[in-house]
Structure 1
Amino acid sequence: MAGPMNLSYRFAKAFTILVFAVLLLGFAILYYAFERTTMRSAIVKMEELNAYVAGRLTKEPQYDYLTFHRKQTRVFLQPDNSSGKKEQVTEEKYIWNRSLQSYINRISVTSFFVIRGKPYMITSVRYITVIEKRFLLSLLMVVAWIMVFLVILTIIISVLVSRKILDPFYHALEEIKKFSIKDKQPMQLMDTHTYEFRLLNGFLGRMSESSKKDYYLLEELTENTSHELQTPLASVKGKIELLMETGLNEHQFATLSAMNDELDRLSSINKSLILLARLEHFEKENIGSVNLSQILLDRIAYFEDVFAFKHLQIRTYIEPDVMAVMDKSLAVIVLDNLLSNSKRHNYEYGCIDITLTSYRLVISNTGNPPSIPGEEVFKRFSRGNPDQNSIGIGLALVKRILEIFGYGTSYRFYQDRHILTIEF
């Protein structure tokens, strides 16, 4: 499949096709018009000749029209009731002429006149040689060379002219490519007298400034939200923990413990949503490669006690020194969420298989079937198992981080196993 075509060349292609079609149509019209014009010219000349002979006979009854007009004109006396007839034109096409060794068209024009009170019929005949194939081929070659010249000229001129006309558009594209929402300088758009490009430049200017304004407002809101929410959450959590250390009955302790868990969940939701908001404007400039194999081994070691508490069997196949273009802190967040999910959506004495190669990372774990379709597990607040203490943001966060770096994610449930794959 051909790649995308430059706008200038699309104009050139359209103009070339148009010129080619117009020239072909023009040649056909020219050929038939030439043939028709030749026939019509002959008819007009014979009408004039008939009128001339009638005029001479009116003045000179003995006018020798046969001598003067080379026997191409005949004069006949008609019966008295033949007066008032209309002119007759007869065309006979493609008659073979032995003497000329060519096809000819025979045209005869019969006019009716009253000369000295008597009706006459004057007929003139003319022979027109049909255009031969060789002549037609020569004419076609001339037109073909003209077409080639015009097509080449059209391509060159249309490319040059369209580039000149579209220069503000291409300049705007370059500015869009360089646009950064964190850049405080406005977009440097080219001045133009073209109305549509002026509208485009105006729209791009307003859109870029509005995007920057919204970004800074969102950044400020995110920072304020993070600070203002985390502080009271931490305060309430601390007070609940203090109450749990006092003498409480079993019911009171269970209630405070549930409240403490909900506060942990609320704090986790707050942090995840703030991180998601920041990722919407994350720029991956100057991002290097990280050793994903080493980070994965470190995170598995970090979760070792958590896995052991649930008696989970961990089986790994990790190729050494698998490198990935990624921010290290974001890579840790991705792996932590995936490992946490493999534990959370597992049952006691279950199994977790972790495979890392230079092509993909696959984490599969035993567990109950999900209650939602597989394609929905990456949506925010979608929980595959409502019975688990999950906030429903982890996989959405994972997918967004991987999208930033161009990595694909997929999920499927097969033979009592949750299988999540990351393609590098």
Structure 2
Amino acid sequence: MAISVKNYTNRFVSIAILIVMAVWAALFYAVIMDEVYDNIDDGLKNQKILIIREAYNNPKLIEESKEFGINQFVIKEVENLQEKVDQNTFSKEFIYMPYDEEEEPYRILRTGFYDPSGKPYQLEIRTSTVEEDDFLLNLAISLLVLYVVIVLSILVINHYILGRAWQPFKQILKNLSKYRFGKANSFVSVESPVLEFNDLNNHISQMIDQNEKVFDSQKRFLENAAHELQTPLAVSINKLELLLENSSLNEEDTVGIVEAKRSLQRMVSLNKSLLTLSRINNQQYAGYESVTINEVIANLLNDYEDLIIYKDIRLDLQQDGNFEVYANPDLMQILFSNLISNAIKYNLPAGELRVRIQSDAAIISNTSQEKALNPEYIFERFYKGSQDHNSNGLGLSIVQTILEKYPFLHIKYSYQNNMQVFEIKKV
């Protein structure tokens, strides 16, 4: 699942900080404990020197220090010392503490010395040290609090600082989503203090300018080509019709001429559709007025009445309200003419054509030999289903192009009860 770049960054920053702090905590704990024990050992060694000096100056101290007292050291007489007298041995032991009623960690120094008479003694000094488990727990709690504070601080900073920094980028995406071919002004440049966003904005503007030039060139080519084809197509069809009137033609020649005429008529239909698309894209249908769709559909059904009767199609017209829009009447005529002509053309013999008109929608349904169409492709140019190979594949594309001029109108296709259903609805 895709997430925003801010949340994506926060997630990895949080994980990275957690790992770094964990490694840092382990090293910090090792360094601190080493420093603590080093300081304690230095204190014990210093205390050893003081005790030995006092034992030389005051021999009674040896007799008075047979057991641990408040000075936390003990001097014991030994037969001999196996190691050097000044050798220090450190250890950590747990000793019961009456106050806490539990064993606490102590650092113990064991060493030896000789009194003035040369008699060996063992000196043992102890001192309370750090409770490592408590220290480790407190360190973990402190680092956890620090981690939470850092992460929350980063989230707050990212929310305000990065949110503000990324605002131009979001605006660029928003403006880019509104861009449509043939409408260069639909993309508005966004100024930003961020160099990368300015570069992105400039590159998008350059790309749009190039696309517009190509698009304008294609429009001019289509319009000019369509205009230039009109006259030779009309002349060719007229000449073929004159040939068909020649009674001396045999059946084979007549069939060939009829097929040629049919192909030219397909070219005329394609040429007319391309001209319509070109005129729509060139904003030649610019007028707006209140249009009652009920009247548009009624007039179209009247025009197609002979074809409906010829195909024995059962017409079911139901008007539950007046569907009115503010648009160009010619475009509304073209839009519903394409939908109704398709519903008749691709209908079954003795099929059914249903037209439902509501106050905010017009629904055109028809029976057909073909099952559900692919809604992802039916509005693309030159897309053809399997119903009629003679189709130029531009009818529904013209419908979609017209609706792009009116954002308040939306077309929805569905296949219900073995019928192709097209709904034009206000949104």
Q: TM-score normalised to the size of structure 2? A: 0.71
- 2:266: which partner in 1? 265
Structure 2 gaps, min length 5 = none
**Structure 1 residues 321 and 120: alpha-carbon distance in aligned structure 2, compared to 1, 3 A threshold:** farther
**Structure 1 residues 371 and 179: alpha-carbon distance in aligned structure 2, compared to 1, 3 A threshold:** closer
Distance in 2, matches of 1:164 and 1:131, equals 46
Is 2:379 the partner of 1:382? no
- 1:230: which partner in 2? 230
**Structure 1 residues 143 and 312: alpha-carbon distance in aligned structure 2, compared to 1, 3 A threshold:** closer
Code of the aligned partner of 1:213: K
Deviations along 1:209-259, one digit per CA (max 9) or x if unpaired, are 212211221222122122122232122223223334454546344433332
- 2:413: which partner in 1? 410
Give the match's secondary structure for 2:207: helix
Distance in 2, matches of 1:102 and 1:91, equals 13
46, 49, 64: which one aligns with 1:49 = 46
Is 2:161 the partner of 1:161? yes
- 1:206: which partner in 2? 206
Code of the aligned partner of 1:124: I
Could you tell me whether the CA contact under 8 Å between 1:402 and 1:409 is conserved in 2?
no
**Structure 1 residues 301 and 140: alpha-carbon distance in aligned structure 2, compared to 1, 3 A threshold:** same
User: How far does residue 307 in structure 1 lie from its aligned partner after superposition?
Assistant: 0.9
Code of the aligned partner of 2:230: Q
1:19-34 pair list within 5 angstroms = none
User: How far does residue 110 in structure 1 lie from its aligned partner after superposition?
Assistant: 3.0
User: How far does residue 396 in structure 1 lie from its aligned partner after superposition?
Assistant: 4.3
1:133-152 pair list within 5 angstroms = none
Deviations along 1:250-304, one digit per CA (max 9) or x if unpaired, are 6344433332222121121233345557778989999787433332222212211
Give the match's secondary structure for 1:311: coil
**Structure 1 residues 233 and 162: alpha-carbon distance in aligned structure 2, compared to 1, 3 A threshold:** same
User: How far does residue 408 in structure 1 lie from its aligned partner after superposition?
Assistant: 4.2
- 1:340: which partner in 2? 341
Deviates more, 1:349-358 or 1:34-43: 34-43
Give the match's secondary structure for 1:81: coil
Code of the aligned partner of 2:394: I
User: How far does residue 314 in structure 1 lie from its aligned partner after superposition?
Assistant: 0.9
Could you tell me whether the CA contact under 8 Å between 2:165 and 2:194 is conserved in 1?
no
**Structure 1 residues 183 and 113: alpha-carbon distance in aligned structure 2, compared to 1, 3 A threshold:** farther
Distance in 1, matches of 2:398 and 2:305, equals 23
Distance in 2, matches of 1:213 and 1:270, equals 23
Give the match's secondary structure for 2:82: helix
Could you tell me whether the CA contact under 8 Å between 1:102 and 1:130 is conserved in 2?
no
1:70-85 pair list within 5 angstroms = 70-76=70-76, 77=78, 79-83=80-84
88, 91, 109: which one aligns with 2:90 = 88
Could you tell me whether the CA contact under 8 Å between 2:289 and 2:328 is conserved in 1?
yes
- 1:302: which partner in 2? 303
Give the match's secondary structure for 1:346: coil
Could you tell me whether the CA contact under 8 Å between 1:346 and 1:365 is conserved in 2?
yes
Higher relative contact order (CA 8 A, sep 6+): 1
Deviates more, 1:210-219 or 1:17-26: 17-26
**Structure 1 residues 389 and 165: alpha-carbon distance in aligned structure 2, compared to 1, 3 A threshold:** closer
User: How far does residue 119 in structure 1 lie from its aligned partner after superposition?
Assistant: 7.2
**Structure 1 residues 162 and 221: alpha-carbon distance in aligned structure 2, compared to 1, 3 A threshold:** same
1:251-290 pair list within 5 angstroms = 251=251, 252-273=253-274, 275=276, 290=291
Deviations along 1:153-198, one digit per CA (max 9) or x if unpaired, are 555544443356446535645664676754479964536563x335
Structure 1 gaps, min length 5 = none
Identity %: 20
- 1:220: which partner in 2? 220
**Structure 1 residues 75 and 89: alpha-carbon distance in aligned structure 2, compared to 1, 3 A threshold:** same
Report the count of equivalent residues.
411
1:385-400 pair list within 5 angstroms = 385-386=387-388, 389-399=390-400
Could you tell me whether the CA contact under 8 Å between 2:48 and 2:125 is conserved in 1?
no
Could you tell me whether the CA contact under 8 Å between 2:178 and 2:186 is conserved in 1?
no
User: How far does residue 343 in structure 1 lie from its aligned partner after superposition?
Assistant: 2.1
**Structure 1 residues 324 and 148: alpha-carbon distance in aligned structure 2, compared to 1, 3 A threshold:** farther
Could you tell me whether the CA contact under 8 Å between 1:318 and 1:355 is conserved in 2?
yes
Distance in 2, matches of 1:382 and 1:270, equals 17
Give the match's secondary structure for 1:407: strand
User: How far does residue 354 in structure 1 lie from its aligned partner after superposition?
Assistant: 2.3
Give the match's secondary structure for 2:243: helix
Distance in 2, matches of 1:295 and 1:57, equals 121
**Structure 1 residues 333 and 23: alpha-carbon distance in aligned structure 2, compared to 1, 3 A threshold:** same
Give the match's secondary structure for 2:316: strand
User: How far does residue 397 in structure 1 lie from its aligned partner after superposition?
Assistant: 4.0
Could you tell me whether the CA contact under 8 Å between 1:382 and 1:392 is conserved in 2?
yes
Distance in 1, matches of 2:366 and 2:186, equals 50
Deviations along 1:320-345, one digit per CA (max 9) or x if unpaired, are 21245765444333322222222222
Distance in 1, matches of 2:308 and 2:155, equals 69
Distance in 2, matches of 1:209 and 1:371, equals 39
Deviates more, 1:21-30 or 1:255-264: 21-30
Code of the aligned partner of 1:259: A
Could you tell me whether the CA contact under 8 Å between 1:12 and 1:155 is conserved in 2?
no
- 2:37: which partner in 1? 40
Deviates more, 1:279-288 or 1:398-407: 279-288
Deviations along 1:51-98, one digit per CA (max 9) or x if unpaired, are 53587489769494878x943223444744345977331242xx6633
- 1:97: which partner in 2? 97
**Structure 1 residues 79 and 298: alpha-carbon distance in aligned structure 2, compared to 1, 3 A threshold:** farther
